[in-house]
Amino acid sequence: MNGANPWDLVVHDERFYDRLVRNGSLGLGESYMDGWWDCDALDEMIARLVRSDVEREVGSILRFLPAFLKAVFVNLQSASRAFQVGRVHYDIGNDLYQMMLDKRMVYSCGYWKDASVLDDAQEAKLDLTCRKLYMEPGSRLLDIGCGWGSLVAFAAERYGVSCVGMTISEKQKILADEQCRGLPIEIRLQDYRRLNEPFDRIASLGMFEHVGYKNYRTYMQVVERCLADDGLFLLHTIGSSSAPRHMNEPWLERYIFPNSYIPSLSQIMQATEGRFVLEDLHNFGQYYDPTLMAWYHNVARHQKEIEEKYGQRFYRMWTYYLQSCAGLFRSRKMQLWQMVFSKKGRRGGYTSVR
């Protein structure tokens, strides 16, 4: 701390140390929001902390025991709670996300294999998704967790399909309706559990993190009953490369994504057993680092506007979220998986798309 490296913390308030010891990662984030410390390369600082397993060395389960027990014994992602993350996170304001995201407003990891700017990386991801689903003109696509309609609009424009997009955010639906006007697309404000109609293709980009491990079998049952026998399902989700935990990171849980949960590969596969054949598994978690940093730089360019509307503490909170998550993915402790499933194995086999 207070060193010469760009990833060293510069402490402005000596109370920071006690707060960090008492509250761990929650205290680290909250004290940053309060301006008690700064760091020129916060993203790299987090990456180094995560690689060092500092939480394992100094953390205490007793500090987070109440939240841990709540996650174990309560279904935090039940139908009655389904719209909470929409209100807390996605309904903050469409203007914030318009300043932060690419021109299509894709709020999930970009595909930077042949891209150097955010717009190209996100278009490449949308096209990759459509090609993995073997999208065909006249097909019917369901996007579970459609956000502002980026995938359904792209698929309708480029691949000639009709689409249904689902979101749990009222403000997302308003803007998605505007952006999809004139296309064969229906945007619904709806929880996935209410679905019971046929689709040729189903996709979910960055929504599974809100499902919760208690609901994975239910989620897969819904996909199974709605997917055509010869259809394909693509699941795009953040994943944990270590043993799954029963609770989200405390700071992210309180300020960014309430009731979220990052799955392990074993949990996903257990939920699909007896229902689907895994046709393809693609890990491009290394691309979430440049995606998050591109979002951060977009937000930083609009600092004055964001602080005027949302306040300085919110701006510090939001930039801490983006930079700390970038560092987390840079450490490679977190992954991003795209998985393609069929019901009974695709006739003639499945050729992986990269």
Phi then psi dihedrals of residue 304, to 5 deg? -60, -45
Alpha-helix runs per DSSP H in the chain: 15-33, 42-51, 54-58, 65-73, 84-85, 94-100, 118-132, 150-159, 170-179, 216-226, 250-255, 265-272, 288-301, 303-310, 312-330
Query: Packing angle between helix 265-272 and helix 216-226, nearest 10 degrees?
Result: 50
- The answer to whether 109 is a known catalytic residue is no
- CA–CA dist 353, 339 (Å, integer): 11
Between the alpha carbon of residue 241 and those of residues 182, 184, 212, 289, 304, the distances in Å are 42, 39, 17, 16, 38
Q: What is the separation of C-alpha 336 from the centre of its chain, rounded to a whole number of angstroms?
A: 9
Q: Specify the DSSP class assigned to residue 264.
A: B
Catalytic residue among 109, 146, 180, 325: 325
Enumerate the active-site residues: 325
